[in-house]
Structure 1
Amino acid sequence: MRKEIPLSVPNLKSDIISNLEECIESGWVSTGGRFISELESKIADYVQVPEAVSTQSGTAGLHLALKVLGVQPGDEVIVPTLTFVAAVNPISYLGAYPVFMDCNEFFCIDTEKLEDFLHNECNSVDGMLYNRKTGRKVAAIIPVHVFGNLCDMERIMALSTRYNLKVLEDATEALGSYYTSGKYKGKYAGTIGDMGVYSFNANKIITTGGGGMVVSNHKSYLDHTRYLGIQAKDDTLYFVHNEVGYNYRMLNIQAAMGVSQIDQLEEFIRVKIRNFELYSKLLHDVNGLKMLPFSAGRVNHWFYALAVDKEIFGCSRNELMHGLIEKGIQCRPVWKLIHTLKPYEKCQGYKISRAMEFEEGVLNIPCSTNITEEDVRYVVKEIEQFKR
């Protein structure tokens, strides 16, 4: 019997309804209302920072954060090529340029190559770093905690201090991931750099339908983020605006969903880990397939990555993907590498190799927090049918 199993969908429960009813009955469905501040407070408490600022989306949060951190037109920002394009587009919004880095075995930015680039391809002049090839100032690094994996923030922060670079953590996929050893033991992804951003898009581990959150240990950064996100309004009565701002506010009706979802986050992570371990066990003896492990630490296991070796499995990643989709099992390849996309093909990429292997051979398979053990076993059984 055919089953439809989505890749990653929201896990919504009826306790959200009363919050939504309150928004409708009170009329607070737009950019004001109590649920916005309540969600900001809950997220700040959860990731153990003093304050958080909600935004329309994770992308909006990244845009605001880059601006607050002082990225200027003509600057360069170092980013991974293996990520969703939303991590990179805000750089272009500001008239700056991305420099693309390779990834490590956990899909996160390769710090060996990052250090090599900073040391061998750049010059420090009067406390600023300049790319020898382009002559542009290198202003910031955006480490992306891909699929919930934890970047090597110890090394990234050490490099940022050495070379005077700002660090904006893209933790849009990593809410709930934290370090269990080292200098940042107990620290959550997103709370270590100068600023961090989370996403509540519908496919994330918790959702508000859309929306994002900016965190920082620097109150001035958050104050400026909030100010810019409400159209840089200096006087609410006479409509005075002293900077160019943005309509990047979260809606109260979105936040009403989020205040319920955040209370379920730990249970969602337990389900993610349980299902990943089941997939790994069931696929362990299937030659040519491997569930790729997550990094050290407590990782939220947001997206699962299945590596397909065509020569051994007898079926390519793409053949397996299209076959599963025809059977009603939603899956997808990892992203097309951003340095190969038309808007960015003229930007600099540095020693990219592993990311190309992942682009060719990795498949994301169903990982929703509401899929059951029976669903996992069904997906594995269907995958096995493609073994040749």
Structure 2
Amino acid sequence: MKNKKVGMAINYDYPDYGGMLQAYASFRKIRDLGYEPEAINIDAISSDIRKRKVLYFAKNILDLSIVKEKSRLVFKKIRKKLNHNLNANLELRSQAFERFCKSKFKTSRKYESWSSLTSGCKEYGAVVVGSDQLWLPSNIAGDYYTLSFVPSEVKKIAYATSFGVSKIAKGQEEKAKQYLRRIEWLSAREESGQKIIKKYTGRNVPLVCDPALLLTKEEWDEEVSAQSIIKDKYIFCYFMGDNPWQRAFVQKLKKKTGYKIVALLHLDQYIQTDENYVDYAPYDISPADFINLIKNAEFVCTDSFHGTVFSIIYQKEFFTFKRFSENATLSTNTRIYTLLNTMSLQHRLVEENDSVESSLSRKIHHNAVKERLDAFRASSLQYLIDALDK
């Protein structure tokens, strides 16, 4: 590609540990390949995107699983206003995210309208969307991560972009067909995503690794402090969902090992009971510090896809839990299943009736996992190189 300037439609500034780290991994890897990436700044049109998403949720108000999930975000905002300490702690976390974001990403000029964004894209040799759950139903409704605004003559690349769900809702099928067929280079992060793309485009697309896996442990170490944040031996917990039996499992693991419990609390939602099972709950934790907490843990317990990703990168003893019930509309369990299947780590998934003893008896063969990861990384990187260069 002669024009080395690459626009990136990534969720680079949202305060989510996995989301910001995978966005940075995409940005860094494209930069390391000799291109000039910049995260597209859509601050000026974000309100319009939000309106479209709100309309989507309003149309699905009778779906109780969506209402339940979104009401938790609203409840968290209310708790912040009522609880001074909680608000102060979450502000520390927000500032840590902001420092990381400002120091790691180069952003474009602010595009003031959809038409100026379309015009500005003509300056790029390619526009890349990815990764994470950028093709969730609400984001398809928002119509930004679909790359519909990119002119036909500009190359469009989807790297490991996730639908988050296993099938497209009937009301969005035509929209999905339209935007997917415009993207010249398509790939998927989950097997369910491959099937969706095949259904609407007729194309067989490769399964590629999450951008965070494109960077080796040694490359991630360049971003992380050499000193452990926590001095004691500890179990690191990174739970997004509210499933009490999973906390009970951690408490039994603590009793079995004698290790302290370290957790990041009140992430997507406010969960008051979580404050009762932890020994340390730090808040001034940047995305780089998040990696530090995983790197130096004795065990990792998580219901997060990226919590699992970094546990694999750092060859940790880890247990992954389901965040959602299988029938939840917004369930994103499929991406965890695909990751574990690809790495032959299905035995790291803990079910509600599994005991700590039986879970501890399931060993991870780290050398074999590393070989699979290295091969997956190499094939995924080759896809990205071909997409940018050909």
TM-score normalised according to structure 1 size = 0.32
- Greater share of residues in strand: 1
- Greater share of residues in helix: 2
Higher relative CO (Cα under 8 Å, sequence separation at least 6) belongs to 1
TM-score normalised according to structure 2 size = 0.32
